[in-house]
Structure 1
Amino acid sequence: MKRVFLALTAVSLAPVAAHAQSSVTLYGVLTGNVTYLNNAQTAATTPGGRPRGGTQVAVLDGGTSGPSASRWGLKGIEDLGGGLKAIFNVEGGFSINNGAIGQGGTLFGRQAWVGLSANRYGTVTLGRQSDLAVDYVSPLLYAWYFGNMAIHPSDYDNLNFTHRINNAVKYASDSFGGFRFGALYSFGGVAGNVSQNQYWSTGVSYTGGSFALAASIINARNPNTSLYGTNANASATGNNLGSQGSATSPETSPSIAGFASARTQQTVSVASTYTLGSAIFGAVWSNTQFRNLGYTASLNPLNYSGNASFNTVGVSVRYQVTPFLRVGTSFDYTDGGNVSGKGSAKYGQLNVGAGYSLSKATELYLSAAYQHASGVDSWGRPAVADIGYLTPSATSKQVALSLGVKHLF
């Protein structure tokens, strides 16, 4: 009888032991801040003219300009034995102002994927996810450290993870002596034309002691759909890069919106950091080419042809003053967009930021940015300043200041 009892006890505990090898975690970020923005555009004018506006605004922007947008998610791991694990992650963004779903109303718009991970062999994931530029290059950038206002113009290189990749298969290696590498391919989903909306990226990174270096290439066929049109509210035929605005509404993403007709967008990016004591010194370069403009005639009102290229170079310094206080600054310079002889645009932006940890979960932050624009933007108009995800300026200059709180759970 005693043996029977012990056997039944062992059987009853077996599911518990198996369950102990699996986990599901609910997590999230809540971010809210008040942002001051001068020279906010209220209406756009006809091509060649200047936008109207110039008002100053102070808004509760739901964390848009903060270091991390609000989100919630579920992630899980199941140990399948022999070093093999099943993994998944679903994550949705939202506005803390009113609870509205982020990423254009896409429920799990930040990411939604499932995959397998094997010791020494790496990880394969399938679904809506980040590319290798986001995985390897982005973590070395100042914007990921201090906030969205420090992104490159219109996040044209997607180094701030503005756009997610749908229908994607990704491989990421384990670390070998500090080296990691990976590749992603997104199926276009167009019957009879497997390359129509395809997207691919590759990347490599190295971390050794105080030094880190990462590089990536991304290539989007028909980027208006495959890169900029992946949210639920994206247009099947309209311009997903931005708009010219109107007599009653401001422009959006004027630095790149005029290039929605490109057949291909390719971006090469490289970033590096060096840690010296409590300081981190960083540098970044990215090049984006909008190739074969006019490929989609309905998105080419200015009859562009050929290619448009952008280059950004940036430097940054971050310093951990105390275990609770961090500060930093960066400067980025962008030049590009010349096509059909119209001239290029230039954007110079200075960023400063500070964060103070009240606990492991809660931080107060302050960030500020100043941008100066010159030249001609993608619509053939005099370029205006356009900081982060905020409203473009009515002039060539813009200042933004953001104060907020971030809480992790």
Structure 2
Amino acid sequence: MKKSLLAAALFGAFAMSAHAQSSVTLYGLIDTGLVYTNNQFGHSNWQMVSSSTQNTVFGLKGSEDLGGGLHAVFKLEQGFLLNNGAQAFSGDGFGSQAWVGLQSDPYGTLTFGRQFDVMNDLVGPLTAEFNTSGGSMAAHPFENDNLAANSVVINNSVKYASPTYRGVTFETMYSFSNKAGDFGNNRSYGFGVSYAQGPVNLAAGYLQLNNAGNGAGAVTSGDASANFIAQRQRIWSLGGNYTFGPATVGLVWSHAQIDNASGVFSFGTGSYLGSGDTSAGSLGGSLRLDNYEVNAKYALTPALSVSGAYTYTHGAYNGSSPGWNTAMLQTDYSISKRTDFYLEGVYQNVHGAPADSVLSHAMINTLSPSATNTQVAVTVGMRHAF
């Protein structure tokens, strides 16, 4: 009897010890609201939408202490549309994120799987389009620089993130095509660095996609991960913000060089083809886009804030010089730490693009394109995190 009691006590102690060294968390974010758009395919529209500002997701994340400052870590996350329950990334069980890896306190973190790119990790948080104070609708045209809140997810990726040293963090990644005899077809790689100390936050990065959307590989069009179908897409970005009291102001520049492009998407909704078709919009040749963003946020009270952003995008396409003006204004009120309500307006105008081309129609991200060169959208929504 005594031996049985001793064995039970030892087993219980071991179980509690193992439990204390491991953790698994269920988490999520729900973003839903009503949007009015003045022009979609030539008509005004009222619609219920999901993820106007932040991705609606649920997921599991966990960590196990392996001893000596080493941890096994993982994350499985699925994006979905609240209004109809559909998957945000069609056909993917965990389309938003699916990775596992090792985290070392002194040496950094190495992860493997379907992940966000390193430039999105470090430069994205400095933009209005990444944060709740703007979000997806405020993204740069066609989300050409992958800086919005986790819109492009990359398969077959190996990512390394350094520990933070005197405010500096470095990340790099490589994503395999997984194609025998075609190693360079639909692969990706990049790097980023950030500095955060006191009120100052700076970051820069580079990302390259080779043959994105070309069948299976690093970035696919089948699950709406690819924004462009092109031979090569190269993105440089640089940004910074400064916080003083209740205010934060930021500047971001990015350059997207898209070579031998054949199609363009925007968050999987497609582009205007002139007949109401929402499949991929046609492109031919190369496209260059420079985005210049200024953003600001001011906390009127701990619960109430206002924010705004303006981006001018200068393009070069087949001898033309299209330009986009995108402006956003938002007010947000938090009723608790996990629940808030927002009112946001976005305006976009495009000029100088070839007539009746896919680039000549304004298209606020997450929405169907306008029949003209101007589009205005106003959304009122609710977010809840758990």
Matches within 5 A, 1:310-389: 310-339=289-318, 341=319, 343-376=320-353, 380=357, 383-389=360-366
* Distance in 2 of aligned mates of 1:186 and 1:2: 57
Distance 1:326 1:382, change over 3 A: closer
Q: Say if 2:5 is the partner of 1:26.
A: no
2:98 is aligned, of 109, 112, 121, to 112
Matches within 5 A, 1:193-208: 193-208=182-197
Higher RCO (CA-CA < 8 Å; seq separation 6+):
1
Which position in structure 2 is the counterpart of 1:399?
376
Which position in structure 1 is the counterpart of 2:111?
125
8 Å CA contact 1:163, 1:227 repeated in 2? no
With the length of structure 2 as denominator, give the TM-score of the two structures.
Answer: 0.89
Which position in structure 2 is the counterpart of 1:148?
136
Which position in structure 1 is the counterpart of 2:276?
none
Q: Say if 2:181 is the partner of 1:192.
A: yes
Which position in structure 1 is the counterpart of 2:220?
229
* Distance in 2 of aligned mates of 1:403 and 1:309: 34
Return the offset for 1:198.
1.3
Distance 1:123 1:139, change over 3 A: same
Amino acid at match of 2:242: Y
SS in 1 for 2:213: helix
SS in 2 for 1:34: strand
Matches within 5 A, 1:50-129: 53=42, 55-63=43-51, 65=52, 67-129=53-115
Report percent identity of matched pairs.
39
Return the offset for 1:291.
2.3
SS in 2 for 1:182: strand
Return the offset for 1:379.
7.1
- Mark the runs of 5 or more structure 2 residues left unpaired by the alignment: 263-279
Distance 1:19 1:349, change over 3 A: same
SS in 1 for 2:132: helix
Return the offset for 1:337.
3.5
* Distance in 1 of aligned mates of 2:282 and 2:140: 25
* Distance in 1 of aligned mates of 2:58 and 2:69: 29
Distance 1:88 1:206, change over 3 A: same
Distance 1:336 1:378, change over 3 A: farther
* Distance in 2 of aligned mates of 1:227 and 1:5: 55
Return the offset for 1:193.
2.0
Which position in structure 2 is the counterpart of 1:251?
none
With the length of structure 1 as denominator, give the TM-score of the two structures.
Answer: 0.84
* Superimposed CA distance per residue, residues 69-112 of structure 1 (whole angstroms, 9 cap, x where no aligned partner): 21100001111111100000000011111111111232211000
Which position in structure 2 is the counterpart of 1:291?
259
Amino acid at match of 2:132: Y
Q: Paired residues, what number?
A: 365
8 Å CA contact 1:27, 1:73 repeated in 2? yes
* Distance in 1 of aligned mates of 2:261 and 2:55: 33
* Distance in 1 of aligned mates of 2:282 and 2:73: 46
* Distance in 1 of aligned mates of 2:76 and 2:292: 34
* Distance in 2 of aligned mates of 1:334 and 1:227: 27
* Distance in 2 of aligned mates of 1:196 and 1:378: 33
* Distance in 1 of aligned mates of 2:224 and 2:298: 40
Amino acid at match of 2:296: V
* Distance in 1 of aligned mates of 2:8 and 2:374: 75
Distance 1:228 1:399, change over 3 A: farther
